[in-house]
Homo-oligomer: A and B are copies of this chain.
């Protein structure tokens, strides 16, 4: 398997694919962190509708197998890694991406990126080998006769294969965006854009939190989170942020697990966990400071909240660039922004009404769909189970080799025709010149 590198390309916009089956039993090979939180929404709905869901994960699982009671069956295969080692891999990646990459030259960036992805790929190759060479597990899975496989191509793993072969087998691609976040571009009929499938109307906040939010009066509140992978910052960054937040008239709810920054204002409260969707749906929420992860951005779009984006890694800069282009966000550069930059960004998205208007416009697009994203996602999983696949949506391009894909056979044939014509024409001319050389001369004479 040479899976190194390529996964980054897929990470950004494609998420899960299904393979053939008929009805009732789904096996899932998920990814960790926000990917798991997102796919879990689909799995919960499948269980609600009476399907049996089996989650395939390693003994080093971080969030997937949290040990809590779950409506899913678990198939946990042993690996040589521990949960701590696995989590530290992600932590290292996040730190390198967040703090080191911005300082690098282009060449150093690419060489460091490559070595990072090699490390990342090696770990997933270990998981993959521990899974596919576990004969007992493979036998049990085969005997289970699953109707559909739901997988996340950011961790591709398979039966000797290439990534292209593996991809081509997917019947349906559930893409984790929609045309509010994304810009229109060509797609294939087996792509279903289900971005925001996890969003739902806000539930009431915990009592203490509601009191704090209400205490903000007409000024309202700002919600701040850097996502499930980043829970602490360097002291310098934390103080820069805290001192900016201290200067705004809004109250701030900041999800942060590290020690309290010295410059923290009385208007700002730190929380180890926040009910993010419920907060973003609260009528007092004026702005969202976000790292630009797809889940958070979609919650802000759903509830029409303008954003200050501080993107850190992978698809986050892309997401924020899109929100900025659509007029619903201001972007800050994580390693470089000053307190004043953050303060100005917050003032802009809160007091320039165009940001709220654009966020509301995106919200209307998100809400006004013929079928809700979660229902569409579940529909196509069930479709694949009912019809043993979705072959009618599979483009024939997957059956072409690279030669045919680029129409080189057609071009070659046409060139051969042209060459043959030129050859015949030249031969004819030469023949004529030799046959009647004197007639020409005579005329001239």
For residue A368, which residues in chain B have a CB less than 8 angstroms away from its CB? 383, 386-387
Is A98 at the interface (CB under 8 A from chain B)? Answer: no
A180 interfacial contact with B, CB 8 Å: yes
CB within 8 Å of B: which of A150-190?
Answer: 179-180, 183-190
Which residues does chain B contribute within 8 Å of A375, judged by CB atoms?
Answer: 370
Contacts of A139 in B (CB 8 A): none
In the bound complex, do residue B189 and residue A393 qualify as a contact, i.e. CB atoms below 8 Å apart?
Answer: no
The verdict on A237 contacting chain B, using a C-beta distance below 8 Å, is no
Q: How many copies does the complex hold?
A: 2
Evaluate contact between A392 and B365: CB separation under 8 angstroms: yes
Range for the number of chain A residues in contact with chain B: 20 to 34
Given A189-B179, A364-B387, A387-B364: A184 and B396 interface contact (C-beta under 8 Å): yes
Does A394 count as interface, using CB distance less than 8 angstroms?
yes
Which residues of chain A in 188-238 are interfacial with respect to chain B, using CB atoms and an 8 Å cutoff?
A: 188-190, 193
Give which listed residue, B188, B387, B394, contacts A186 with CB less than 8 A: B188
Cβ of A395 within 8 Å of any chain B Cβ, yes or no, is yes
Across the interface, which residues of B come within 8 angstroms of A180, CB to CB? 392
A187 touches B189 (CB 8 A): yes
Q: Interface majority SS on A: helix, strand, loop or mixed? A: loop
Q: Is B383 in contact with A184, judged by CB distance below 8 angstroms? A: no
Considering only residues 357-401 of chain A, those with a C-beta below 8 Å from chain B are: 364-365, 368, 370-371, 375-376, 379, 383, 386-387, 392-396
> In the docked arrangement, what's the CA distance between A189 and B187, Å?
7
Chain B positions within 8 Å of A190 at CB level: 184
> How many angstroms between the C-alpha atoms of A306 and B194 in the bound complex?
35
Distance, CA A292 to CA B257, complexed state (A): 67
Bound form: Cα–Cα A179–B392 in Å: 6
CB distance from A375 to the nearest CB of B (A): 7
Which of B179, B371, B387, B394 meets A370, CB within 8 Å? B371
Q: A364-B387, A370-B375 are in contact. List 17 more A-B contacts (CB 8 A).
A: A179-B189, A179-B392, A183-B395, A184-B189, A184-B190, A184-B395, A185-B189, A185-B395, A186-B186, A186-B395, A187-B187, A187-B188, A189-B193, A365-B392, A368-B386, A370-B376, A370-B379
- CB of A372, distance to nearest CB on chain B (Å): 10
Give Cα distance in the complex from A197 to B117, angstroms.
Answer: 49
Q: Is the CB of B184 within 8 A of A187?
A: no
* Complexed CA–CA distance, A281 and B256 (Å): 63
Rounded to whole angstroms, the CA-CA distance of A364 and B388 in the bound complex is 12
Q: State the Cβ distance, A429 to closest chain B Cβ, in Å.
A: 26
- CA of A365 to CA of B386 in the docked complex: distance in angstroms? 11
Residues of chain B within 8 A (CB-CB) of A184 are 188-190, 392-396
A368 to B190, CA, bound (A): 14
Chain B residues within an 8 Å CB radius of A193: 189
Cα distance, A183 to B394, chains bound together (Å)? 9
Minimal Cβ-Cβ distance residue in B for A183: B396
A180, closest chain B residue (CB): B392
Residues of B contacting A371 in the complex (Cβ-Cβ under 8 angstroms):
370-371
Q: What is the CA–CA distance of A179 and B391 in the complex, to the nearest angstrom?
A: 10
Q: How far is the CA of A386 from the CA of B368 in the complex (A)?
A: 10
Closest 5 CB pairs of A and B: A184-B395, A186-B186, A184-B189, A370-B379, A370-B371
Q: Could you list 27 A-B pairs, sorted by A, with CB under 8 Å?
A: A179-B189, A179-B392, A179-B393, A180-B392, A183-B395, A183-B396, A184-B188, A184-B189, A184-B190, A184-B394, A184-B396, A185-B188, A185-B395, A186-B186, A186-B187, A186-B188, A186-B395, A187-B187, A189-B193, A368-B383, A368-B386, A368-B387, A370-B370, A370-B371, A370-B376, A370-B379, A371-B371
